[in-house]
Amino acid sequence: MNVLIDFDAWQRGLIGGLLIGLSAAMLMLFSGRVAGISGIVGGLLFNRDPADALWRKLFVVGLLLGPLLLAAFAGAPAVSLPTGWLALGLGGVLVGFGTRLGNGCTSGHGVCGMARFSKRSIIATLTFMAFGFLTVFVLRHGVTS
């Protein structure tokens, strides 16, 4: 059954942001844990404590189910990648390296850390946002040699 829910882009962004904030707050409130995706996945991959693995697995399953449920009820958005799989994979590796280097990712620093007024998270968020803006600027306006 496909029930089409017609939201504008800003409405989807608003609802998504509210759900991210609510889920991060609930995880912190009920378990004392920070909803940083790189830390959760890293703990799942490198931590051998089975008692700690269950909540991490459920969190990752929820991350994967979210887009599938959205596609089932609101239709899958059209996605086109302006690059090949090699560049996409390299970008993923670089993001993974950056999250380890920065001791956290956009969700850990940008959502949870800034909400706690962490200086380190504010600096990290300003840094990755600035480089994101710079990357988009260079890609859109081109830098010729």
How do the domains of the chain map onto residue ranges?
1-77, 80-145
Q: What's the pLDDT tens digit per position in 104-143?
A: 888 888 888 888 899 999 998 999 899 889 988 998 887 6
**Alpha-carbon span 62 to 50, nearest angstrom:** 19
Amino acid at 6: D
User: At 67, is the pLDDT very low, low, confident or very high (cuts 50, 70, 90)?
Assistant: confident
The reported pTM is 0.71
Task: Check: CB of residue 53 under 8 Å from CB of residue 47.
Answer: yes
